[in-house]
Structure 1
Amino acid sequence: MTAPDSDSDSAPNVIAALFDVTSDAVGDEHVEQVLAEFGFGAMEVAETAARIRASRSEFRRLRRRENELAVLYSSARELAQVRDVDTLLQRLVNRAHDIMGTDVTYLSEFDVITRDLNVRKTAGAVSPELQHLQVPAGAGLVSAIAESRAAQWVQNYSDYTQSRHDEVVDAAIVAEGLVAILGVPMLSDGQILGVLFAADRRERRFTADQIALLSALADHASVVLQTARALDRAEESAAETGRALDELREHVSARDKSNIVHQDLIHAVLRGGGYAQVARTLSSSLERSTVVVDSELRPLVKSSGEQITTVPLSLPPAVSEAIDQS
């Protein structure tokens, strides 16, 4: 093998380009060995090997970024296609689980009434304690994230601030064997909707790129929850409107019926029919047997035409009270 012309500035660039193309196919030690065989000096070998390592690192970063963008694109497309909230949230958690490469990924939803944070969806979780975990307000890492509305992570959960620990939360973390935990808030107009977590069963440091990626997926989950809550409010509003319309219809119907009875009674009086005509008119309108009584509750006439007695009617206390208040 002929060594390149030492006066040629292009030789190192040509070799670096060749190794850039082969990417990770050749190990760093073999790269330096091959460069030495080409006749490069120690300084040139070190410089060229460094350039190759930098190029490989950049290629890996770009491939990883390409995969991340593909995941975000697929997630965004599903936001417009999937109507089932539970299905969509599970897919988001599954995608976060795959792309983050963590052992467990889970989503906790914020309850605006109790202010608890309840685990709603998981991926990779094996313990029921975590899958059904309800974290009371102020407890655990999840509450700290909800209060600060900022991403937080711990390399080892056992080293986390003691004031935040809760027996139920700690038991769930231990049951799942979680050590390193990253959580990002799910927000809508500054209001907390929940927290999306990525966790490992070993110590781990999370990078800024990983936090940004999980935050982007958390934004997608926020859209899902916000849309679901808006639909719930719309359904409740529609139900309330329906109930109000039903009450209005009943009121209008009662008013119309009252007007008809009133007109019938006026006509009965004008025709000079007396109490008997009034009793028959009321009986027909109310579809009930009617008795006209005097102030002492003595019957004057019955709509049925039956013979009456002068014995005062005995009424239940509630009816008597209603008559007194009338």
Structure 2
Amino acid sequence: MESGESPTDSQIFEVLELLVGEAPPRSFEDLLWEARRHSGGEERSGKLEAAVRIAMDIRATAEQRRRRESALAALVDTTQEISLHHELDGMLNVVTRHARRMLAFDMAYVSLRLPDGSSYVHKSDGDTTALNTGLEMGRGLGLGEMAQGSSAPFWTPDYLTDERFPHSDEIDRVVNSEGLHAILAVPMTYDGRTVGALYGASRAIRHFSPDEVSLLRSLADLSASAIEATRHRDRVQSALASAEAEKTRIGAALTESRSLAEVQAGLTGMCLEGADLHDILRAAASSLGADLVLRNAGGRTMASTGPVPEIPTATVVRAMADSHATAAAIELPDGLWAALVAGGVEGPGILLCKSPEPLSEENRRLLHFTGQSVALVLLLRHNLAPASGPARDEYLADLLSGTPRTPCHFAERARRIGIDPTAPHVVVVLCPDGAKRGEAAIWASSYAYRHAGLMTVSADRLVLFLPGDDASAAARAASDELTQLLGHAVSAGAAGPAKDLAAVSKVYQEALRCLDTLVALGGTGGAAAAGDLGFLGLLLSDDHDVDAFISSAVGPVVEYDAQRSTDLVRTLDAYFTSGGSPSRAAKDLHVHTNTVARRLDRITELLGPDWQQPATALEIQLALRLQRARGAVYRPRTPPLADQADRGGA
């Protein structure tokens, strides 16, 4: 100690020397103990203690500054290491590992938020069980949910015993299994959005300082920025990959389109050069890598490149209608495809394709174009084809309109288009309500060809001119097939057979009246000829076949009387005249009531149990009146007495 210095001054200088030398706290405590032992007064000792306290405060401040500098350096190192990872998993491994090292945690983990607002543990470091990673956090439960919901840190010195926040059984089970006590959770936010939470945990009870909370918060914000950058990079890479895939697809489509255009140009050239059907089909089949078969409306194979399974006529008609409606090839069961072949004198046909693999969009277009090419070949092959279709339409139009022509003229034109003028024909009129009129017209063309008839479209109605003598059966058959094709009931009226071709117009008008009457009576979707409409049919019919009507209504009763000389017809008439009273009918007939009852039983056996129903009873009464009126009109006249005398003399 130099002269002029008091012992306390020298000790204070020694405190400064210890502070400059960054001596441990124990050195300051030893110095203070020695001073108290040799102190000459409390004043000197008090000064030294104040100097030691100041030194310790300075030392603590310096230590805190060093820790902060160290933490900042650790954050810089973490940032550099994070930048080396381009995948989310690798980046989060770095975050959890550095969080443990910087804050001396026993365990650190990260939870990420899903689009629906829930969270799950994505990465964990320091865990001793497999329960933590992948753990789903219940919404609103646990420290992490609270931190994310409020965008503020939350911590607890002892998680399982802390009741300040809602617990989750799943989270509590993991905390207990890992032996955790103190847990600190901070939100991971970026640009005002919370992407998850960063957790630090210790297996002992621990109180976290503001510096520790702040440091973990800084690491969480840094991690949130990296997470969003990684996700953005993934989205960009995904978009680039999608763009590259789309570029490849477009390139392939352009190549295929160019190839399709070349094939189409080749097929067109072959058509114009006079190639036959087999050449066209072989060229198309080679490009399609499939077998092709061309069939006409009647099902006859016209050309083929290989075997194709037989398919029902109903399926063919449906495919023709659908192909016409969509202007494209139609997929059928068992690897078959079909395209309409429209045009030619043989009616619409079908091009069938048997492919081992589903046809691409380009190949479907090629199949449809091949069908058009085949139609062109058919037109070019038949010199009459361009005029034959209009000739058939014009002929049917003349028949239906009743244009005055000689029978010979009609017959000669019929023979030229393949119609037998001597065969009986019926007319069927169908009303295909709805938007599928194009499909219905295609069907009608095929149906007429298959049945050796004619067809036309008039005022949104299909008109069929078909060989046959049963108009009712023809109406039902056509209505049933078109109903199945369109998927809704189709009304049909029919008439005929026509006595000759000149009478077709009257038969057509009768068929129209039958259709209109059927619809007016609420029979939409049904099929009927005049004979199916009872006495209404008698009124609608042009020939008014009274005999046929009487026979249909009471024919069995009339025949029974004629064969057995009974009186059932008169009994039936008396029964209706008496208002349906057997006793009054018996009085009018001058027979016993039991006799009338037995006769009525016999009538029931002959006409069926429903003969007294209002509609049937009305037709029976009308038939009885017609028969009675006809008998009065055509009753043989009684010869004059002179004639009788002459015959008697003879």
Task: Name the TM-score, length of structure 1 as normaliser.
Answer: 0.83
Match of 1:204 in 2: 206
Match of 1:324 in 2: 321
Amino acid at match of 1:44: K
SS in structure 1 of the partner of residue 222 of structure 2:
helix
Checking the alignment, whether the CA contact within 8 Å between 1:89 and 1:224 is kept in structure 2 is no
Checking the alignment, whether the CA contact within 8 Å between 1:298 and 1:313 is kept in structure 2 is no
Structure with bigger RCO (C-alpha 8 Å, 6+ apart): 1
Q: 1:252 to 1:153 in 2, by over 3 A?
A: same
SS in structure 1 of the partner of residue 302 of structure 2:
strand
Amino acid at match of 1:314: E
Checking the alignment, whether the CA contact within 8 Å between 1:297 and 1:313 is kept in structure 2 is no
Task: After TM superposition, list the pairs within 5 Å mapping 1:261-272 onto structure 2.
Answer: 261-272=263-274
Q: Which moved more, 1:90-99 or 1:33-42?
A: 33-42
SS in structure 1 of the partner of residue 132 of structure 2:
helix
Match of 1:192 in 2: 194
Q: 1:4 deviation in Å?
A: 6.0
Which one has the largest radius of gyration? 2
Q: 1:253 to 1:114 in 2, by over 3 A?
A: farther
Q: Which moved more, 1:43-52 or 1:265-274?
A: 265-274
CA RMSD of the aligned region, Å?
A: 3.2
Match of 2:15 in 1: 16
Q: 1:56 to 1:249 in 2, by over 3 A?
A: same
Determine whether 1:117 maps to 2:103: no
Task: After TM superposition, list the pairs within 5 Å mapping 1:29-178 onto structure 2.
Answer: 29-36=29-36, 37=38, 41-113=44-116, 115-123=118-126, 125-161=127-163, 164-178=166-180
1:254-298 Cα distance to aligned partner (Å, 9 max, x none): 432332232122212211234344334323433434333223332
1:136-183 Cα distance to aligned partner (Å, 9 max, x none): 322211111111122111233235446621111111111222222111
1:163-205 Cα distance to aligned partner (Å, 9 max, x none): 6211111111112222221111112222222211112233322
Q: Which moved more, 1:268-277 or 1:93-102?
A: 268-277
SS in structure 2 of the partner of residue 108 of structure 1:
strand
- Tell me, in whole angstroms, the C-alpha distance in 1 between the residues paired with 2:242 and 2:207: 51
Match of residue 310, structure 2, among 311, 314, 317: 314
Q: Which moved more, 1:177-186 or 1:36-45?
A: 36-45
Task: After TM superposition, list the pairs within 5 Å mapping 1:221-240 onto structure 2.
Answer: 221-240=223-242
* Runs (5+) with no aligned partner, structure 1: 307-311
SS in structure 2 of the partner of residue 199 of structure 1:
strand
Q: 1:319 to 1:235 in 2, by over 3 A?
A: farther
Identical columns (%): 22
Q: 1:134 to 1:294 in 2, by over 3 A?
A: same
* Runs (5+) with no aligned partner, structure 2: 324-650
Checking the alignment, whether the CA contact within 8 Å between 2:82 and 2:94 is kept in structure 1 is no
- Tell me, in whole angstroms, the C-alpha distance in 2 between the residues paired with 1:285 and 1:101: 72
- Tell me, in whole angstroms, the C-alpha distance in 2 between the residues paired with 1:119 and 1:303: 61
1:211-269 Cα distance to aligned partner (Å, 9 max, x none): 11111221232233223322332333234334433442443344323322321222122
- Tell me, in whole angstroms, the C-alpha distance in 1 between the residues paired with 2:286 and 2:133: 65
Q: 1:319 to 1:54 in 2, by over 3 A?
A: farther
Q: Which moved more, 1:237-246 or 1:172-181?
A: 237-246
1:48-102 Cα distance to aligned partner (Å, 9 max, x none): 1211211221232122123212211211221333445433322322221122123
Q: 1:186 to 1:318 in 2, by over 3 A?
A: farther
- Tell me, in whole angstroms, the C-alpha distance in 1 between the residues paired with 2:162 and 2:266: 82
Q: 1:119 to 1:279 in 2, by over 3 A?
A: closer
- Tell me, in whole angstroms, the C-alpha distance in 2 between the residues paired with 1:261 and 1:103: 73
- Tell me, in whole angstroms, the C-alpha distance in 2 between the residues paired with 1:267 and 1:117: 67
Match of 1:309 in 2: none
Match of 1:252 in 2: 254
- Tell me, in whole angstroms, the C-alpha distance in 1 between the residues paired with 2:268 and 2:132: 74
- Tell me, in whole angstroms, the C-alpha distance in 1 between the residues paired with 2:309 and 2:73: 85
Q: 1:319 to 1:29 in 2, by over 3 A?
A: farther
Task: Name the TM-score, length of structure 2 as normaliser.
Answer: 0.44
